[in-house]
């Protein structure tokens, strides 16, 4: 029955309904709502917080504010506070990273930031002597689970 309704909706509405039905499938786990991107991670809050800050540093964005909230962190970064990032603990080991770029959002750039966060998750940085080091944000990387 569901297939019949979906099939008939294409004939009634034309191709204008296709982006709404196919969009969530194409973007994967990044959800978009009113210019804001959200992605969920099955990690500890501090790991995602550290990965987000390292990702912003790799993309050459200065962090202007870094505030602790009751359930996570709120960051503003970039030129003229371009990025507004909320990192919050939803459940145990479930963290939501919400990114708004400017007023309307920038989907490709937000996805680039998520890709960098993915790459920096569970990454430990070492000095030349092979010892784990503190990053520039004073989070001891070896203390994280």
Per-residue pLDDT of 85-134, as tens digits, reads 999 999 988 999 999 887 666 777 888 899 999 988 877 666 677 666 66
Q: What is the pLDDT of residue 32?
A: 63
Dihedral angle computed from the Cα positions of residues 79, 86, 109 and 82, in that order, rounded to the nearest 10 degrees: -20
Per residue in 65-81, pLDDT (tens digit) is 999 999 999 999 988 77
Q: How far apart are the first and last CA of the chain?
A: 47
What's the CATH architecture for 27-143? Answer: 2-Layer Sandwich (3.30)
Give me the pLDDT at residue 48, please: 92
pLDDT level of residue 1 (50, 70, 90 thresholds): low
In this prediction, residue 74 carries a pLDDT of 95
Per-residue confidence band for 82, with pLDDT thresholds at 50, 70 and 90: confident
Delimit the domains of the chain by residue range.
27-143
Q: Is the pLDDT of residue 83 over 90?
A: no
pLDDT in tens, 16-55: 444 444 434 333 467 767 778 899 999 889 889 989 999 9
Rounded Cα distance between 121 and 41, Å, is: 10
Question: Which tokens is 130 given?
Answer: 């092979």
Strands across the sheet containing 94-101: 31-33, 36-41, 94-101, 83-91, 72-77, 63-68
| pTM of the predicted protein model | 0.65
């Amino acid at each position: 029955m569901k297939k019949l309704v979906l099939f008939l909706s294409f004939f009634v509405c034309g191709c204008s309904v296709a982006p709404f039905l196919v969009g969530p499938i194409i973007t994967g786990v990044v959800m978009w709502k009113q210019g804001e991107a959200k992605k969920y991670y099955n990690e500890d809050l501090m790991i995602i917080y550290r990965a987000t800050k390292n990702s912003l540093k790799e993309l050459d964005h200065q962090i202007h504010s870094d505030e602790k909230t009751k359930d996570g962190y709120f960051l503003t970064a970039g030129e003229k506070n371009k990025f507004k990032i909320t990192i919050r603990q939803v459940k145990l080991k479930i963290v939501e990273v919400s990114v708004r770029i400017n007023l309307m959002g920038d989907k490709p750039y937000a996805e680039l930031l998520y890709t960098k966060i993915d790459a920096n998750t569970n990454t430990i940085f070492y000095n030349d002597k092979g010892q784990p080091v503190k990053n520039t944000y004073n989070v001891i990387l070896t203390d994280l689970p």
